Structure 1
Amino acid sequence: MEVYDGRGGAGRMPRLLRSLMDTDAGVRLDALSTIADRLLTDDTVSEASFCAVPFLVELGASYKVAADVRDRVIFLLAAMALAGKGFTEQGRRTHRRWNALGRELPRTAPDWLTQTRHAVAQGAPKIFEALASERVACLVALACAVPERLPPFVVGLVQEMIDLPGEAELSDAAEIAVALLKRSPELLVVDRPKVLGEGLVRPAHQPREVAAALMGYRFALASAYGDEGAW
C-alpha cells in the first residue's frame, strides 16, 4: 500500500533521505528542503511524516552527518512534533483543537498528528544523548517540543544556555524549555508577535504550555537561522 506525504505519493522519500548524506552541500540542502516541504506541508504532518521519523532520528543523532544538515534535521523533528495539522486518509487537514478546559479534542483515525509526535518523543533521547555536550539551538528546539523526554544530564546544559551572552533569542528559548520541563508555564510570557509572526492567531483554548513550546521553538530557530529559516 502506497504511503502518502503532503505532496502525493512518498516513493521518492528513501532516495531523498539518502541524499542527506551526500558529499555535496548543495545536494544535501536541496534534499532537506524537499523533505521538509513534503513531510511538514504547511505545518501539516502525514503518514509519511510518521514513517520517516526513525530515519530522521538516526540522522540527527549521527556525527557522520554534516552539521549543516544534522541541526536542520533536528529542527524538522521538533517542528513535526509541534505540528498543528494532520492529513486524513481523504487528503483533508484536521487541526489540533481544545475544549474550554484546555483538553485536546480527539481526531478521526488515523491520527498522524499524535502518532508523529509520539514517534519524535520516542526517538528524542537518542538525539539528546548525542548532543549532551553541545550548546546548540536545535537541542533547545527539541527540548521545547518534547520536554518530557529531556534526560537529567542535559537539563543542566539547557539551564546554562539561559545565560549565554549575546544570544538573547536562544536564551529565551532555553528559559522556556526549562519552564516547560518544570511544568511551570505560568512563568512564561506567550505574547511574542515578533517571533510568532504577524497575523498568527492562537487557536481557541490552546493551553499555555502549547503556545509556550511553539514560541520556544521559534526563538531557537530564529537564533540559528534568522528570518531565512532552516529550509
Structure 2
Amino acid sequence: MKNYDIIFFDIDDTLFDFTKSEQEAFSKVFDKYNLLNSLKLYEKSYQEISKVLWRDVESGKVSLVELGPERFRRLFLEHELEIDAVVFNQDYLGFLGEQTHLVQGAEKVIRGLSHKRLAVITNGYTDVQTSRIHHSPLEGTFEHIIISESTGFQKPQTGIFDYAFNKLQITEKANVLIVGDSLTSDIQGGMNYGIDTCWFNSQHKENNTTLTPTYEINKLESLLEIIK
C-alpha cells in the first residue's frame, strides 16, 4: 500500500459501464429514426468504425469535434442511409448523456476514498460526461472533472495532465495515481507524465504492449487495498 493523496479516475469502463450506456443510447437514437430493424448490423459496423477513429483521436490525427459526425457519416455511407450525420450525432450524444450505469463497486470505492482528493480525467464530450456524472450517485464526489474537449488535449497527451495538475495545484507527482481501463490512453498517459498508474482490467485482457502499469486490478474494489 502507498499513501496516495490524489487519485485521478477515468470515466468510461472504469467508473461507468460505457458498453451498456452506449448500447442504450444507440438503441434510442435508432428508434427515433425508425431504424431498429437492422440495429445489430449497424452496431457491429459502428463499433469497428468508432474503434479506428478513437485511436486516431488518441494519436492526434482526428479531433474530437471531427470524430462525432464522422463516425456516423462513415456508417451511413457503408449502409447507404441518407441521414444528416451532424444532426444524428447530436441526437446520439443527447441520449448518451442520460446514461448513468455504474461499474460494479464504483460507488463503494469512491465513497471509501472520500478522505482523499478525487478527480476525473477523461476523454470525451464535456456536456455528455458532466451530465452523466451529475445524474449519477457520484455527483459531488470529485474535486474537479477534467474533460478533454474542455482542455484541448486528449489522454495520453501530457497537455491534459498539465491542465489537471494546474487545476488541482499539484506540485508532487509521487503522491498521485491514475486509474483507468485503457493501456494506450490512461496508462500510457500516466507513464508519460511520470505518475503511478493502475490498470483496471476487468475483462482479464492480455497486455500485448510494452507498457507496465504500477498496479493491475480486475475488480474496482481492489483499489481500496492499494491505497493506504
Structure with the greater relative contact order (CA < 8 A, sep ≥ 6): 1 or 2? 2
Relative to its length, the structure with more strand (as a share) is 2
TM over 0.5: no
Larger Rg: 2
